[in-house]
Amino acid sequence: MRSAADKAEVATNSHALEILARAGFAVSGVLHFLVGTIAIGLATGKGGRADVSGAVAELASQPAGPVLLWASFAACVALALWQASDAIFDFEHLPPKDKTAKKLKAALQAAVYAALAFSLAAFARGAGQDNRESASDMTVNLLKAPGGVLLLVLIGAAVAITGIVYGVRGFRKSFEKHINLPPSPNARKAVTALGVAGYVAKGVALFVTGLLVIIATVTAHPEQSTGLDGGLKALREQPFGIYVLAAVGVGLICYGVYMVVRAKLARM
């Protein structure tokens, strides 16, 4: 068993897998960039779905769309495997509390990129689904299940708290510890500025999305649980919402650019 584990660790830390895993960050960046452009379009009166499904659909509509989707799928699978490897094999030198936190974070990241890979594969096979509809359907099904109300509230709270964490991470610039900042002072400032704007914008989007899940649950209106797209559209309906939504869209574009840069600078 130990020999098999050692071989698995070597395989998941290979140079080839690292290159492909870095490409996974770039894929995430491109999708965030597309979500940001769609959000700006919503703020200016255009239509569209400002979520992962909308971004992937936009990617699929490009020339050589299927090739882009399958290449993106491979990159996200690689990054999910890399994060899973971290969750299983890394951080052993840390104190138990820190080790558990790091492993849990890596496992959650692996799950996120695995889910993204699943979405990309679904669209590549022509079976893509609107995330807004799937979010509402999930809410309906969970509301009917025993303990579903509590579970939905916990899910909404978790998403909202994740949004707060992203916002704090942006303001505190703690994301910098995950990358090797470039030596040029101007380049360092540019990367930091992209990260701050991006993390804060993503934090706002996630917080509103989680809040909508909680509201939909406690009011028993599952149609209000519409995922990221619904969260961003809810921002538009608030006082000065058009400007807030446009600002969040710009921030998501910044986050997308930052993630593309992270593909090169990430500490793997």
Task: Kindly state the average pLDDT of the residues 137-166.
Answer: 79
pLDDT at 5: 45
pLDDT at 3: 52
- Residue-wise pLDDT for 12-54, tens only, equals 567 788 899 999 999 999 999 999 999 998 888 887 787 888 8
- Mean pLDDT in the chain? 83
- Residue-wise pLDDT for 106-120, tens only, equals 898 999 999 899 889
pLDDT at 127: 64
Instruction: Please tell me the pTM assigned to this model.
Output: 0.84
pLDDT band at 232 (very low <50, low <70, confident <90, very high): confident
Percentage of the chain exceeding pLDDT 70: 85
- Residue 245 near residue 39 (C-beta atoms within 8 A): yes
pLDDT at 4: 45
Going from the C-alpha of 59 to that of each of 17, 79, 169, 204, the distances in angstroms are 24, 19, 29, 24
Going from the C-alpha of 141 to that of each of 85, 227, 242, the distances in angstroms are 33, 15, 33
- Residue 217 near residue 223 (C-beta atoms within 8 A): no
Q: Residue 201: which residues within 8 A CB-CB, separation 6 or more?
A: 36, 247, 248, 249, 250, 251, 252, 254, 255
pLDDT at 33: 95
